[in-house]
Structure 1
Amino acid sequence: MNAINTSDSTTEKKETVMNKILGAISGSFAPILGVLAGSGLISALISILTTLGWLSPKSGTYAILGAAGHAIFYFFPVFLGITLALKLGANGYVGGAIGAALLEPHFTDLVASHAQNVHFLGIPVILASYSSTVFPILIAVSIYSVLDKFLKKVIYKDLQMFVNPLISLLVIVPLTILIFGPFGTYVGGALAVVIKLLSSTSGMLTGAVMGAAWSFLTILGLHWAIIPIFIANLATGGDPLSPMIAAAPFAQIGLGLGVFFKTRDKDLKTLAASGLVPGALAGTTEIITYGILVRYKRTMLIVAIAGAIGGAINGMFGVKGTAFALPSFLSIPVFTPIGLYLVGTLSALVIAMVLTLILGYQGKSDVAPLKTVKDVNRETISSPLSGEIVPLSKISDPLFSTETVGKGIAIDPTKGEVVSPVDGVVTTLFPTEHAIGITSEGGAEILIIVGVNTIKLKGQFFTSHVKQWDTVKKGDLLIEFDIENIKAAGYDVKTPVVITNTNQYIDVVPTSEGNVQAKDELIRLVV
């Protein structure tokens, strides 16, 4: 165990800025990969049904199924605001509110009306639609997390619950609409100019650049600024750019196939498989993008190479799109000549799959390697008590024994002290002082409840040394309790330590057995 800890420390020291950024992005998407997969499969089902003529795009059924399949993508800023804020140790609900502000009806109506001369406190506002975007909310919530940490230091603790969100929303939402969002628009516009210049010079060169870059432009949300060029080209007889970028999603499909055949990790194999169907049938590759591509840096090079080759082929042969459609197997008929289009896109698919099988997908410094205790990117939770490790299944309260509250472990304490298992904030302190909730700087929500049904003691034999919203360091004394008197009153003192936001992690892995001392490593969170 000590050897592993030493390795972890070394890894943290060597962690690069890029690893931190990719780790934050990957960790933000991890909790919503399941709903992305489900929504993508609904979109694939709709595509199949409409292609077969069994479902009319004008029907109510189509609209309702479309709502189910598209909601997660439309409200992406909201979901991403929540998960990224939690990942960065800030308030997830404030992060979600920042994303929701970009989709609030008053603002979206303003955007839809193409209003001119809109100002905020005399500052001109550049209006843009932010549904389905990623880039603005990534910047906004990252800045918010920094502001939140500052506010926790300077705002009186008893006022933080409402003052911190008040100040955060008043500052971050206008900044997002005034600066962060338009910044993405400007960057996207500049990219559009560069692409036009390239396309007038060489179709093959443009195809190589577009095919290589498209996956990464999509991750940043910058692709939305380029899509209008596709639509404008369609009005003049055909679009040469969409076949070039089609190589990128086909390369990701090839990557998914390669990982599926290559990996022995059951969870990763399932993830890859769940991304293949919506990618192949509906052109929605978010599962592969955020579940694999962002996690494993080697796959970025593979997708870039395969996408560049496929895009260059389509660009060289002058393949064109005749209608706007997401690249997938079902949308092949909208490209012409179909035979040459297939040469380019299938080349990208096969090359990505073969490179993945030959080179592998996992590098030495990946932000999220395979899910093993030694290799995973993780957050460590220390033991808040000294005592004997007990499985949650042995706790008589079914809420804990069935892991309804969350995964974790229990401790039969030998010393009546609860210390903080992490650096973080006390987000919940029960009036009876027998239970406490802490949110770590990494976003883990930890619930510690001393004993079973000890709430009935109404605080007797418990003394807290912190207040709600206090900032604490690992090892700080939180609660003292009298073990002997609690037992004499007829209560079991076995103490569950659970991660209540378990669903935001790939796994919650207890790392200790037998006896444990306070501040020893107790749980690892796989992210």
Structure 2
Amino acid sequence: MKYEQLAKDIIENVGGKENVNSVVHCITRLRFKLKDEEKANTEVLKEMDGVVAVMKSAGQYQVVIGNHVPDVYKAIVEVGGLESKGSADEADGGDKGSLLNRFIDMISGIFTPILGVLAASGMIKGFNALFVAIGWLNEEGGTYQILNATGDALFYFLPIILGYSAMKKFGGTPFVGMVIAMALVYPALEGIPGAAEPLYTLFAGTVFESPVYIEFFGIPVILMTYSMSVIPIIVATFFAAKIEKALAKITPNVVKMFFVPMFTLLIIVPLTFIVIGPIATWASQLLGQVTVWVYDLSPIIAGAFLGGFWMVFVMFGLHWGLIPIAFNNVAVSGEDPILALIFVHSFALAAAVLAIWIKTKNETTKTLSPPAFISSIFGVTEPALYGIALPLKRPFVISLISSAVGGAIIGLFGTKIHLLGGLGIFQFPAMIHPEEGLNTAFIGTIIAAAVGMVLSFVLTYFFGGINQKATAAPAAEAASAKEETVITIQNEDIVSPLTGETIALEKIEDTAFASGTLGKGIAVEPTEGKLISPVSGTVSAMFPTNHAIGITTENGAEILMHIGMDTVQLDGKHFTGHVEQGAKVDKGQLLIEFDIPEIKKAGFPLTTPIIITNSGDYKDIAFTETKQIKIGDPLLSLEK
């Protein structure tokens, strides 16, 4: 390992790994949170080869490394046996960002390890349904059954998979999370309602009416179906990780190995059945009653409501309050409006994924998009939802909006399903009226699906934020591309990327930049919230929080522009990126927009260093003497 010795020395001189609460990195430095900063040997670290500077700021112990900080960080994590939390904006435990963003980031982070197999399972399920639809297979045959088990296994036992990844993300023991999930989908418990009469019924005659089949030490347990659910196991593992950590602190080492998991399970599993189950059950029952009431009030409003929020309901397991109503409607009256109103959601999601597939330059996203698109068309939305749309946020919201429009159209036409079974395109036959055939209501279904798809595609393609940080090319790819390109260093003139007042680099507050050890350059105090490209070249580094960007010019200059001081702590808030890592940019092209008043209001200086990180490749670097500068004015002159 190239930086193994440096990593060992850094860990030793920050007080050892036992003194490290956490460590992340930004674009130039390691950011430690130490238990006791007095234990760190700051002077030794400052003199260490490979360390540019050491700073204490914003509650962090910062060890400035330079451009190769990601490699040093990896060595730190590996050598020290520390938990990898990635770059500063990825670090868990911050209270930054909106609640919705934090929730989406958590969900997508938990699903990231299973994206490949999730997409594969969706493809198998979709094609198996296709083979049945065209008559190649029948649902009674062994081939269908085995393929169905292959494709459906991950979805049915999804809580077990998520139990592992969620528990790991929350800092607990992954196998404990799996056991919690196994208890939730334990067949004997799931089968009780169908095999026995309830002991009694709680809240009979109300919307919260709940049959009770079992008790736990006299406490009623309201059973629900946890297979294919997402939120219950994530909530359970969140609390399980905290319980496990608390037990680990008070349990003697000699019995810790089995006492901690035993008591964690004994606490969290009953708690999940007793608390999470009833909450989810009652919420879904209430949703069912509200939906029926809204439909009676206005089918159009009900369509917009159900279509727009169906994917959210599925995420939280609330759809189980609607499924029984729909099934009962078909059984009793031969038709149901509820499942018809949510019909467009898979098509809207598929169209969003199609737009991403066409537009994105990220190889991972482009690889995941085709199977996610196909499985969504077939009605299996999990790969597209959790693997692509939800992490990117905007396409997810656009899919909800488009599905709401489609649901409203279906409500307008009064479309209902007349058969159970089939998802996605295979649900079209269920919309055919048994007596009237392809009537107006069926035509309305086609119109709704088409409108939902077109709307979702167009909005995602043009407003989905596909070229921003969520689809930025992986750093490893950009680094690899950079290594493969041989550039001959030449003289270069660099214009100002900002409008504002120039400041000598040595006069700024951040000593790492002021000392010039990260490279020679100049700083600008911006008066306009736009950063443009000062050269033509390639984006060599685009930090996910959009507060810093690196560009390698066609003539070999390596430029780093860092908007403000410690602005990484804003976690991307008030910054909007317009390019992605690895992108080719032209001189004058808009790179980043930032909200000056809001950033200042948050208490962060906006002084922006513009430095040449490979200053050693040049004989001389001349700086402008102009105090007030505008975008495009001469700023630096590099002489080889």
* Structure 2 length-normalised TM: 0.55
**Structure 2 matches for 1:179-218, cutoff 5 A?**
179-218=275-314
**Structure 2 matches for 1:234-249, cutoff 5 A?**
234-235=330-331, 236-249=333-346
Aligned counterparts of 1:2 and 1:80: Cα–Cα separation in 2: 29
Compared with structure 1, are the counterparts of its residues 17 and 161 closer, same or farther at alpha carbon in structure 2 (3 Å cutoff)? Answer: farther
**Structure 2 matches for 1:372-391, cutoff 5 A?**
372-373=474-475
Deviation, 1:360, is 2.3
Match of 2:323 among 227, 235, 252: 227
Compared with structure 1, are the counterparts of its residues 30 and 56 closer, same or farther at alpha carbon in structure 2 (3 Å cutoff)? Answer: same
Maintained 8 Å contact 2:190/2:223: no
Aligned to 1:410: none
Letter in 1 for 2:294: L
Matched, 1:31 2:113: yes
Deviation, 1:127, is 2.1
Aligned counterparts of 2:254 and 2:236: Cα–Cα separation in 1: 26
1:73-95 residue CA offsets vs partner (Å, 9 max, x unmatched): 11111111111001111111000
Aligned to 2:400: 304
Match of 1:255 among 329, 348, 352: 352
Aligned to 1:504: none
Matched, 1:318 2:411: no
Maintained 8 Å contact 1:78/1:99: yes
Maintained 8 Å contact 2:340/2:416: yes
Aligned counterparts of 1:273 and 1:106: Cα–Cα separation in 2: 38
Q: Which has the higher contact order (CA 8 A, sep 6+)?
A: 1
Compared with structure 1, are the counterparts of its residues 349 and 5 closer, same or farther at alpha carbon in structure 2 (3 Å cutoff)? Answer: farther
Aligned counterparts of 2:348 and 2:397: Cα–Cα separation in 1: 11
Matched, 1:334 2:426: no
Compared with structure 1, are the counterparts of its residues 151 and 370 closer, same or farther at alpha carbon in structure 2 (3 Å cutoff)? Answer: farther
Aligned to 1:20: 102
Deviation, 1:5, is 4.5
Aligned counterparts of 1:4 and 1:215: Cα–Cα separation in 2: 40
**Structure 2 matches for 1:352-367, cutoff 5 A?**
352-362=456-466
Aligned counterparts of 2:95 and 2:272: Cα–Cα separation in 1: 32
Maintained 8 Å contact 1:135/1:222: no
Letter in 1 for 2:131: L
The runs of 5 or more residues in structure 2 that have no matched partner are 1-24, 32-86, 200-213, 433-440, 479-640
Compared with structure 1, are the counterparts of its residues 109 and 208 closer, same or farther at alpha carbon in structure 2 (3 Å cutoff)? Answer: closer
Aligned counterparts of 1:4 and 1:340: Cα–Cα separation in 2: 57
Aligned counterparts of 1:52 and 1:229: Cα–Cα separation in 2: 30
Letter in 2 for 1:342: I
Deviation, 1:338, is 2.8
Matched, 1:123 2:219: yes
Compared with structure 1, are the counterparts of its residues 157 and 346 closer, same or farther at alpha carbon in structure 2 (3 Å cutoff)? Answer: farther
Paired residue total: 373
Aligned counterparts of 2:181 and 2:471: Cα–Cα separation in 1: 29
Maintained 8 Å contact 1:230/1:324: no
Look up the SS of the partner of 1:78 in the other structure: helix
1:481-517 residue CA offsets vs partner (Å, 9 max, x unmatched): xxxxxxxxxxxxxxxxxxxxxxxxxxxxxxxxxxxxx
**Structure 2 matches for 1:46-445, cutoff 5 A?**
46-117=128-199, 118-235=214-331, 236-281=333-378, 283-336=379-432, 337-362=441-466, 369-373=471-475
Aligned counterparts of 1:142 and 1:22: Cα–Cα separation in 2: 15
Aligned counterparts of 2:442 and 2:391: Cα–Cα separation in 1: 34
> Which piece of structure 1 moves more, 324-333 or 37-46?
324-333
Look up the SS of the partner of 1:116 in the other structure: coil
Deviation, 1:32, is 1.5
Aligned counterparts of 1:193 and 1:334: Cα–Cα separation in 2: 24
Compared with structure 1, are the counterparts of its residues 141 and 375 closer, same or farther at alpha carbon in structure 2 (3 Å cutoff)? Answer: farther
1:258-278 residue CA offsets vs partner (Å, 9 max, x unmatched): 111121111101111120111
Aligned counterparts of 2:368 and 2:462: Cα–Cα separation in 1: 20
Aligned counterparts of 1:9 and 1:36: Cα–Cα separation in 2: 28
Deviation, 1:186, is 0.8
Aligned counterparts of 1:13 and 1:115: Cα–Cα separation in 2: 47
Deviation, 1:24, is 2.0
Deviation, 1:369, is 5.0
Compared with structure 1, are the counterparts of its residues 219 and 13 closer, same or farther at alpha carbon in structure 2 (3 Å cutoff)? Answer: closer
1:23-56 residue CA offsets vs partner (Å, 9 max, x unmatched): 2211111111222211111111211211122212
Maintained 8 Å contact 2:356/2:466: no
* Structure 1 length-normalised TM: 0.67
The runs of 5 or more residues in structure 1 that have no matched partner are 377-527
Deviation, 1:200, is 0.2
Aligned counterparts of 2:391 and 2:477: Cα–Cα separation in 1: 13
Maintained 8 Å contact 2:362/2:473: yes
Aligned counterparts of 2:309 and 2:456: Cα–Cα separation in 1: 15
